[in-house]
Structure 1
């Protein structure tokens, strides 16, 4: 969840630092106080589009920083961190965005500089912002198939992984077939290039690990004098009159003479004798090594020349000799394929035809699982819509193409495979009886759209893994029992994910676990925004103001307290 948010010199915000908690946090205040500015700041933190207009007048830069705490190790953010080389320790992620007055944008994740595109990848995994005027993931038809797969991910993921493996293999075979069958002139040029490369590597007569062995030999030759002297000094320190081995021999002989007087001495004498013979053996090896050493200045020149030749080949074909040899093997295979193109095309065609059937079978299995998931999801959506007084609304999921039997795939040449199978999924809605189903992004009524979005948010919140869901005045255009139903739905979403909600509805504010009041003030002839967390009495006053306007009456306060009591009763029922 988002635990801390720091904003400096952003629009009319001078400097504020907010601490957020689990559950539902409500932000309320007068129109123009700066509520949506805070959401704008969070949106920038998640990779949104920046503008120099966001930098507070007279300042050089605007700074936004957010601390997120992740409570479980399987959160998708860890995969994102690994993908982009960002280390995540103790489940903490810090996103930072700086907008300069010159229009530059600086992004950091856990202190590491990243591009805006990378920041967006982190942001969309942590934050989901929904407002009346912005299209979010649920509104984009291209995302619907992924959402449907999330809904039944335990069963679908395994089949999806197998399909992805087969589909990629299938695509690679088709690509290879196309390369071999098209453009004779390009293939001839390709063959010339490969034969030149193969010959160049072949003439080098490379041996496995040759570069490593030569580097080691060059190091020894370059330091021959120090190596020779060091081995010689070690040998002379051990051998000769009054030297190391002679003293060890005296010591072990002395102990051998007194072993009969003490049993413990026998053990020490044997141990020392073993060391004596071991060091004597090492001494002989040092002597042999020293005698075998012979300095050859020409050999060093030969090694340097060979390494230079290998270095030249590394720039073209691989970072090590082993990689170069591996590349040589691969181009030898490709040369053989090009020279025997016709037979390879026949072989590839057979492989493609055989694999195509397997890919279609996996795609059909994915399709069947999605159809079952769609049926269950439609039922759950209708149940939730009824609770928001949208019982006349119809929700449906379309599949294109609509496939029922495998034979349809074999006969229908228009079926195209893609990374998710052959399905193209869209969420459809009809808000009035007798009206045709339309795509979500074509539903006109803001109030109805808000409720539909809340239903889908509630259902997918537990599947998406997003840590913080932000609603920016999604309750606009509703009142009465619908407002109460929306408040309850937002609270239900907060049981799955942290929710930050800007609202003008007292019913939603009453559901808050934490209520923050945003106020615009004038100080030293400048306007600035401040945020404060409300006590229970202040919360009653704010909810009363939201119901009646600026003037507070005892009756309004009683209604405010009553609304809080009703919200408290609802929360107890949710436990």
Structure 2
């Protein structure tokens, strides 16, 4: 959920920090106080389109920051991981700064991201619905996924099995298409990869050869420096009156002293051990000097071999391992091309077998979707009836359904054989039309609310925001909408800007938005209402400016009714 929102120098807001709770939070206040500006800020915070007009007059930039609390299995976890963002601590902090030039700087948990990435992550956290915004539920491309979510585990399992089979089908179809190219292209391809394979084979590459040759070249190329260093080291340690002699003398003397004073034994042992270690080292240096020789012929061979390997690396891979893997791959391709007809026949047989299984899986998936489409339709009709739209007809329209015969490649897609869209008719005798063709504001508000009420638990969105979705309704419809909005908020978080006292009465948290003028500048303030202040505010919403005892009693009655509904 959205736990805290911080806004600075945004529109008429100078500086504002608001904390939010779970459940239903209603924001009310007079027109122009800044209610919608707060929603605009959240919209920009999750990747909405911004401009310099949002920056408070006279300031360099607007600053927006939101803290979201998330569960470990929330969709944002996988989405953030795609972009290398860690949200394992159960919190996501989104930040966006908008300069007076219109440029945005976006961060998620401190990491710089593009607006596109911010939008992808933000879409898993907040869903904003207003009278004037294009909504997720209005997007026909998302109706099939919503239906699949509504179907739960049963559809999820069937879809998973279908998609595994579909992936096999795609791979086989791609192989067949590749092998079915014209013979001239195949001949050219065969000549090319045969030449490449022969070139790699002649080189007789070995793993680690390049590294070993590079080390040997390093030794031979630096022969003089290595020889000089070894010679100097040997003369410093070996021979009369040199390092090893002096340490040997010290060892003998300490041996005599230790015989007289046992407390010196440990020192004597350390020196003796050092002597024998150095004696071995001197011997090794001598052997290295004896075996060290400059071999220009060997150096030429190594340089030639390294140049040969580097030439192959430029063509076929960054390492010898990559080159050998490429050779293995084209060797298999050569065999396939040489026996092309046999492989084509084999793949065609495999495709035929997969196609039959795919048809069965697709039909099963389609039947499940149609089964759940009926259940969804019944639930939508029930929700609409509660919202006094009992004459409205809702239908899940299948543009394409499972086929008995025919070429699947023309009709199949990654999600099956179905293309789904929600259709609706709000008046008797009127034809069903796509959901996004609904024009009436009041009807659209109720329809979207009914869909939200059903799909909110399936979408996994952290916070749902309703910005004046109750416009155009009143009376019993307003009461019904208030109850639906509250139902969506149960177990989640809903932020709602409303002018309806029925909605305000249902609030778990009631925030009042006001504005005041200080030193000639307008400032917006937000403060939570106490129970008494809530009664006064709902009374104002009922009667307008003047609050009478009668409106207070009416407000109390609305709150009492709301509490009864919430506790039922």
| TM-score bucket (shorter structure) | 0.7 to 0.9
Which runs of no fewer than 5 residues in structure 1 stay unpaired?
255-271
Q: 1:76-95 maps to which residues of 2 (within 5 A)?
A: 76-95=75-94
Q: Deviations over 1:402-451 (max 9, x none)?
A: 33xxxx43147796111101100111222223332221111222212211
Q: Distance in 1 between matches of 2:186 and 2:147?
A: 44
Partner of 2:504: 509
Could you tell me how far 1:478 is from its partner in structure 2?
A: 0.6
Q: 1:352-431 maps to which residues of 2 (within 5 A)?
A: 352-403=351-402, 408-411=403-406, 416-431=411-426
Q: Equivalent residue of 1:152, what SS?
A: helix
Q: Distance in 1 between matches of 2:537 and 2:278?
A: 88
The TM-score with structure 1 as length reference comes to 0.84
The TM-score with structure 2 as length reference comes to 0.85
Q: Equivalent residue of 2:405, what SS?
A: helix
Deviates more, 1:504-513 or 1:54-63: 54-63
Q: Distance in 2 between matches of 1:491 and 1:294?
A: 87
Which runs of no fewer than 5 residues in structure 2 stay unpaired?
239-243, 260-268
Q: Equivalent residue of 1:521, what SS?
A: strand
Partner of 1:260: none
Q: Distance in 2 between matches of 1:414 and 1:394?
A: 34
Could you tell me how far 1:230 is from its partner in structure 2?
A: 13
CA contact (8 A) 1:461 1:497 kept: no
Question: Does residue 39 of structure 2 align to residue 39 of structure 1?
Answer: yes
Could you tell me how far 1:33 is from its partner in structure 2?
A: 1.6
Q: Deviations over 1:307-345 (max 9, x none)?
A: 565455445433432122112222233344345444433
Q: Distance in 2 between matches of 1:84 and 1:315?
A: 31
Q: 1:113-512 maps to which residues of 2 (within 5 A)?
A: 113-182=112-181, 187=186, 190-191=189-190, 193-211=192-210, 213=212, 291=287, 294=292, 310-311=309-310, 313-403=312-402, 408-411=403-406, 416-512=411-507
Q: Distance in 1 between matches of 2:216 and 2:460?
A: 55
- Relative to 1, partners in 2 of residues 1:567 and 1:415: Cα closer, same or farther, differing over 3 Å? same
Q: Distance in 1 between matches of 2:75 and 2:229?
A: 54
The two structures, once aligned, show a CA RMSD in angstroms of 3.7
CA contact (8 A) 2:394 2:425 kept: yes
Could you tell me how far 1:17 is from its partner in structure 2?
A: 1.1
User: Which residue, out of 531, 535, 543, partners 1:540?
Assistant: 535
Could you tell me how far 1:117 is from its partner in structure 2?
A: 1.4
Question: Does residue 14 of structure 2 align to residue 14 of structure 1?
Answer: yes
Partner of 2:62: 62
Question: Does residue 23 of structure 2 align to residue 23 of structure 1?
Answer: yes
Q: Distance in 2 between matches of 1:384 and 1:335?
A: 63
Q: Equivalent residue of 2:404, what SS?
A: helix
Q: Distance in 2 between matches of 1:228 and 1:505?
A: 93
Could you tell me how far 1:195 is from its partner in structure 2?
A: 4.3
Q: Distance in 2 between matches of 1:88 and 1:224?
A: 53
Deviates more, 1:305-314 or 1:161-170: 305-314
CA contact (8 A) 2:76 2:124 kept: yes
Q: Deviations over 1:191-219 (max 9, x none)?
A: 45534543443344322344455567678
Q: Distance in 2 between matches of 1:456 and 1:68?
A: 25
Q: Equivalent residue of 1:476, what SS?
A: coil
- Relative to 1, partners in 2 of residues 1:350 and 1:63: Cα closer, same or farther, differing over 3 Å? same
Q: Distance in 2 between matches of 1:104 and 1:459?
A: 39
CA contact (8 A) 2:77 2:88 kept: no
- Relative to 1, partners in 2 of residues 1:127 and 1:315: Cα closer, same or farther, differing over 3 Å? farther
Could you tell me how far 1:68 is from its partner in structure 2?
A: 0.6
Could you tell me how far 1:464 is from its partner in structure 2?
A: 1.3
Q: Distance in 1 between matches of 2:357 and 2:87?
A: 40
CA contact (8 A) 1:471 1:500 kept: yes
Q: Deviations over 1:205-240 (max 9, x none)?
A: 32234445556767888796899799999x99xx99
How many pairs are equivalent? 547
Could you tell me how far 1:546 is from its partner in structure 2?
A: 0.9
- Relative to 1, partners in 2 of residues 1:347 and 1:90: Cα closer, same or farther, differing over 3 Å? same
- Relative to 1, partners in 2 of residues 1:185 and 1:458: Cα closer, same or farther, differing over 3 Å? same
Deviates more, 1:509-518 or 1:344-353: 344-353
User: Which residue, out of 516, 537, 549, partners 1:554?
Assistant: 549
Could you tell me how far 1:468 is from its partner in structure 2?
A: 0.4
- Runs in 1 of length 4+ with deviation above 6 angstroms? 215-233, 239-243, 280-290, 299-302
User: Which residue, out of 509, 524, 527, partners 1:529?
Assistant: 524
- Relative to 1, partners in 2 of residues 1:155 and 1:556: Cα closer, same or farther, differing over 3 Å? same
